[in-house]
A and B are shown apart, each in its own frame.
Chain A
Amino acid sequence: AQSVAQPEDQVNVAEGNPLTVKCTYSVSGNPYLFWYVQYPNRGLQFLLKYITGDNLVKGSYGFEAEFNKSQTSFHLKKPSALVSDSALYFCAVRPSALNTGFQKLVFGTGTRLLVSP
């Protein structure tokens, strides 16, 4: 069964500084990897995904993530944080193998990002 670990409950960063939110995964075969953001009292919004190809994936709001197969990681990054980036971030994984039928997307426990002015 697949699983996702987000080792940090909270990440604090000053506005203008680079940010990294960590994610490691475990899945049989090749993974489909996702990042979502949740603002207070809102649903989850899709940020970016890795399916195949270039290990560096660019997404919404200036975020990007790097897929590292050897380290089974998919860390979320942004070169310059904004106060408005403060939110709850979820990493998610599912297997890519289509011949195994429908696969559920499994989420990590979430990391709260706080960007201070």
Chain B
Amino acid sequence: DTAVSQTPKYLVTQMGNDKSIKCEQNLGHDTMYWYKQDSKKFLKIMFSYNNKELIINETVPNRFSPKSPDKAHLNLHINSLELGDSAVYFCASSQVKAGELFFGEGSRLTVL
């Protein structure tokens, strides 16, 4: 059983296009996250939602828009893709008091 699943696993697209990544968790957690891992493997938080409410919004361009239709889903939409958006995007979930995050397998975005 997949705990945190992301789709698609790979995206290859042209600059200027719009793309979405979907994430679902079946752990019953109340908090979900998007992290970005760059080519040097640095991990940086982008957004976090708790029970569908945005609670963490780091300094991320407005072209990135998260949406949480319910507490088991957190999607990421990216407009007007740029070369610098190429990275692996990880979805994660947690119970806020426990602290540890459970990660999906990642979605590798390549912008040409």
Contacts and interface: CB of A to CB of B under 8 A. Distances in A.
Interface string B35-55: 000001111010010100001
Contacts of A45: 103
A82 B42 CA distance: 25
Interface in B74-112: 90, 92, 96-97, 99-106
10 contacts: A32-B99, A34-B100, A41-B106, A44-B90, A44-B92, A44-B103, A45-B103, A102-B48, A104-B56, A109-B40
B101 A109 contact: no
A42 to B, nearest CB: 6
B111 to A, nearest CB: 19
B25 interface: no
B45 A105 contact: yes
B87 to A, nearest CB: 14
Given A49-B99, A109-B42, A102 B31 contact: yes
Interface string B47-76: 010100001101000000000000000000
Nearest to B53: A102
A46 B103 CA distance: 9
B101 A104 contact: no
A110 B37 CA distance: 11
B36 to A, nearest CB: 11
B99 A51 contact: yes
A90 B50 CA distance: 24
B97 A98 contact: yes
Nearest to A35: B100
B101 A90 contact: no
B55 A43 contact: no
Interface string A16-36: 000000000000000010101
Q: Which of A32, A38, A43 has the most CB of B within 10 A?
A: A43
Interface centre among B92, B99, B106 (most CB of A within 10 A): B99
A74 interface: no
Contacts of B99: 32, 34, 49, 51, 94, 105
